[in-house]
Chains A and B, each alone.
Chain A
């Protein structure tokens, strides 16, 4: 079975601090995708990043960066120099390529950036 765990329920930081959101996943599949989505108060899930299980290269995109480690089944997401507009609930998700193709979401981390 697929499972995604986001151990941090809520995080609160002051603006301009860096913040890392943790994500640990379980799967027996050898190929899969990992995602991060952001859900602002409006409710819409906004796609942030996607990583293929074959590609462990970590990247930086603007203020976002991610650390994918297949050996520890972790896919952590970092926001650098956080801003108030980053306040939202962040979801990590796992997507199977074979079998039932669906997103399996973690429980989400509520991030509050205080001015």
Chain B
């Protein structure tokens, strides 16, 4: 089985721009979660989608949004980019059994640099 894929792998943007990141989960996985990793804050949960619905959301401003499509692929959007948004954005997919997530498997991440 192919693993979680994320595109693009690297991205450079300037302040004020917006960016869209894409994640394709492992085949059969319907839950997709997004995490932000920075040297200062570590790994932080952004949100989780299941069956095209956002089930959980972390403590991030409304500039961070996402969606999930019927094929379980997910996109994450950040509007009005700030320097502090520079980070590695990781996507993870998992099965849902009895309403609960199973192990999350991560993609290679998208490294975003905001100038």
Write the residues of chain A forming the contact surface with B, with a CB cutoff of 8 angstroms.
35, 37, 42-47, 50, 91, 95, 97, 100-108
Q: Does B107 contact A (CB under 8 A)?
A: yes
Per a CB cutoff under 8 Å, which of A37, A44, A95, A108 touches B101? A95
The main secondary structure of chain B at its interface with chain A is strand
Is there contact, CB below 8 Å, between A100 and B111?
Answer: no
Once bound together, how far apart are the Cα atoms of A47 and B58, in whole Å? 22
Is there contact, CB below 8 Å, between A102 and B58?
Answer: yes
Is there contact, CB below 8 Å, between A102 and B42?
Answer: no
Number of A-B contacts (CB under 8 A): 50
Q: Does B109 contact A (CB under 8 A)?
A: yes
Q: Does B23 contact A (CB under 8 A)?
A: no
Once bound together, how far apart are the Cα atoms of A105 and B48, in whole Å? 16
Is there contact, CB below 8 Å, between A91 and B106?
Answer: no
Question: Which residues of A sit under 8 angstroms from B90, Cβ to Cβ?
Answer: 43-45
Per a CB cutoff under 8 Å, which of B35, B43, B103 touches A47? B103
Take A45-B90, A95-B101, A108-B42 as given contacts and tell me if A102 and B107 are in contact as well, using a CB distance cutoff of 8 Å. no
Known: A47-B104, A101-B101. 16 other contacts (CB 8 A): A43-B88, A43-B90, A43-B108, A44-B90, A45-B106, A47-B106, A91-B43, A100-B56, A101-B48, A101-B56, A101-B100, A102-B45, A102-B56, A102-B58, A105-B43, A107-B42
Task: Count residues of B near A (Cβ-Cβ below 8 Å).
Answer: 22
Write the residues of chain B forming the contact surface with A, with a CB cutoff of 8 angstroms.
33, 35, 42-43, 45, 48, 55-56, 58, 88, 90, 92, 100-101, 103-109, 111
B96 to chain A, nearest CB (A): 9
Is there contact, CB below 8 Å, between B109 and A97?
Answer: no
Question: Which residues of B sit under 8 angstroms from A104, Cβ to Cβ?
Answer: 45
Identify the closest chain B residue to A107 (Cβ): B42
Once bound together, how far apart are the Cα atoms of A13 and B11, in whole Å? 35
Is there contact, CB below 8 Å, between B106 and A35?
Answer: no
Is there contact, CB below 8 Å, between B109 and A44?
Answer: yes
Is there contact, CB below 8 Å, between B42 and A97?
Answer: no
Per a CB cutoff under 8 Å, which of A42, A103, A107 touches B104? A103
Question: Which residues of B sit under 8 angstroms from A97, Cβ to Cβ?
Answer: 100
